[in-house]
Amino acid sequence: MLKVDMNKFCSYELDEIKVSNFIFIIFGGMGDLSTKKIIPSLFNLFKRNKLKKTFEIILHGKTKRSNEMCYEVIKKNILKEDKEEFDVELFEKFYKNISYYDENIEEPEKCKILKSIVDKFNNSSEEENQIIFYLAVPPDLVLKILKIIENTKICKKGINKKIVMEKPFGTDYNSAKKLNKELMKNFKENEVYRMDHYLGKETVQNILFFRFGNLILEPIWKREYIDHVQITISETIGIENRGEFYDKNGIIKDIIQNHMLQILSIICMEYPINFSSNSIRDEKLKIFKSIKKIEKKDIEKNIVLGQYGNGKILGENVVGYLEEKKIPQDSKTATFFAGKIFIENWRWSGVPFYLRAGKRLKEKLTEIVIIFKNPPLNLFGNNCSKIFPNRVIFTIQPEEKIEISMNVKYPGDKNYPHPIKLTFDYSNLNSKIHLNAYERLILDILKGDLTLFTREDEVESMWEIVAPIIEASEGSIQIQEYSSGSWGVKESELLIENDERRWSRHEDN
């Protein structure tokens, strides 16, 4: 394996972050997402000495909690990630900026805390201040929180304000449209940060650099040279303690409508006219608009859905979906998706894109594989073994790396082609400059950079794409059981398999 040492080229330090003083209000501040991802990411940015300005983090929740309780939970979660380097003094310095308030959002008229915080903010003399509302709550509370924010009247003033929305952004096209409309009553589109944490991952961003920073790729990144593309987002975990949430959403709303389509658009988009957020988002939107709608009659030919049964994951017995907590016995929610789609534009016409995602699958893996066509002539005589088509492989999880597979001559007197991989592995880089997805996205929110966030029209378009699949999943398509620890429903292999094509990890095993 040929490894490229990038350390000598990448000695960049993280720039000093030019952010103004801020108040960061997290609704659902003591929930899973906030305590495991958002607050630890804010702490890491603080630890890197990048949050030099004055800031306050306000956690909002329903349950009464003492300061000590919050302190312990947050410390425990940070310690989990930071065992060796944990600096208690630094943590306490950070924690001084945190406070917790409880109120029931279901009774918006009684929610006064936010108003008092915002009044304090309004009266401060600093012109540079910004206020960030981060909604880390179940989706049914979102509209009520928007009402509470509206009641503070903050949005009527020319204040630097931002709102961060977690997925799911709506539950279908109509609800997403309604939500966007509600948001626009109090925020401008450039104040809305719709999170898709996949976009914060280095390898996902690197797809753009890799494509548009290497001229040798551009002439072949198209239908004439690419045979097909595979994208896999697989998890070994089941639904854990998210039964109620998951059963309402399933794999199509949880993964395909957002992460999968976002990755697809970055692989396929045309060159943006520059690297501004809107130029990039314009190009992604064109891909969403070009995805060929799957007609009702073709859905079963092109889509396979499944639900995990029991089986073994890493040698341990695990229960099937229907035996999980809070799942109705007759649930038809899909935990596995495999599909074949086409993008009807000049670059990609006729190239199949095979997408699959699922829970309780054989490996935890997020991978994009671009498989090129074989050379037109086989020059290596009768003795040669098979020539493997060139591939570009972006691995996003569990490792972050990019590989190109090529063929070379195997040493000796025979004409044996031999497949090799050229590999760029992020773990070879200096980790001090490697931000995890939430750190990167929170930093962008503070700086006001919208490039890695989903725009209103993108979200609506993504819902339009999955609508017929969701409809079929509720009626015409059969949801088939697959064993936990397998690669999902057997029929998904028929979607792709022919003499030349296989799902990438199947042939490796």
- Tell me the catalytic residues: 259
Size of the site for ligand NAP (CB under 6 A): 20
Query: The tokens of 51 are what?
Result: 């949050």
Nearer to ligand NAP, 303 or 334 (CB): 334
Nearer to ligand NAP, 260 or 287 (CB): 260
Nearer to ligand NAP, 52 or 178 (CB): 178
Residue with tokens 């089986």: 311
Answer yes or no whether residue 171 interacts with ligand NAP by CB under 6 A: no
Residue with tokens 């819902």: 463
Q: What is the dihedral of CA 450, 203, 349, 228, to 10 degrees?
A: -160
Looking at residues 451 to 480 of the shown chain, list those that interact with ligand NAP (rule: CB under 6 A). none
Nearer to ligand NAP, 132 or 392 (CB): 132
Q: Is 322 left (phi over 0), alpha (psi -120 to 50) or beta?
A: alpha
Looking at residues 230 to 259 of the shown chain, list those that interact with ligand NAP (rule: CB under 6 A). none
Answer yes or no whether residue 138 interacts with ligand NAP by CB under 6 A: yes
Of the residues 106, 119, 344, 500, which one makes contact with ligand NAP according to CB under 6 A = 106
- Give me the least distance between CB of 103 and ligand NAP, in Å please: 6
Answer yes or no whether residue 136 interacts with ligand NAP by CB under 6 A: yes
Of the residues 32, 126, 224, 399, which one makes contact with ligand NAP according to CB under 6 A = 32
Of the residues 19, 23, 25, 33, which one makes contact with ligand NAP according to CB under 6 A = 33
Q: What Å distances lie between residue 320 and 176, 313, 483, CA to CA?
A: 32, 12, 8
Of the residues 17, 20, 21, 31, which one makes contact with ligand NAP according to CB under 6 A = 31
Answer yes or no whether residue 383 interacts with ligand NAP by CB under 6 A: no
Instruction: At 393, give phi and psi (nearest 5°).
Output: -120, 120
Q: What is the dihedral of CA 111, 116, 118, 121, to 10 degrees?
A: -160
Q: Which stretch binds ligand NAP (CB under 6 A): 103-111, 152-160, 182-190, 417-425?
A: 103-111
- Give me the least distance between CB of 63 and ligand NAP, in Å please: 3
Q: Give the Cα separation of 137 and 373 in Å (integer).
A: 46
Looking at residues 139 to 168 of the shown chain, list those that interact with ligand NAP (rule: CB under 6 A). 139, 141, 166-168
- Give me the least distance between CB of 442 and ligand NAP, in Å please: 14
Q: Which stretch binds ligand NAP (CB under 6 A): 102-110, 307-315, 442-450, 457-465?
A: 102-110
Q: Give the Cα separation of 39 and 134 in Å (integer).
A: 11
Answer yes or no whether residue 104 interacts with ligand NAP by CB under 6 A: yes
Residue with tokens 């930093």: 443
Residues 6+ apart with CB under 8 A from 483: 308, 309, 310, 311
Q: Give the Cα separation of 125 and 315 in Å (integer).
A: 61
**Do 26 and 38 contact (CB within 8 A), yes or no?**
yes
**Do 427 and 254 contact (CB within 8 A), yes or no?**
no
**Closest C-alpha to 473, from 297, 306, 330, 244:** 306
- Give me the least distance between CB of 179 and ligand NAP, in Å please: 12
Q: Would you tell me which residues interact with ligand NAP (CB under 6 A)? A: 28, 30-34, 61-63, 104-106, 136-139, 141, 166-168
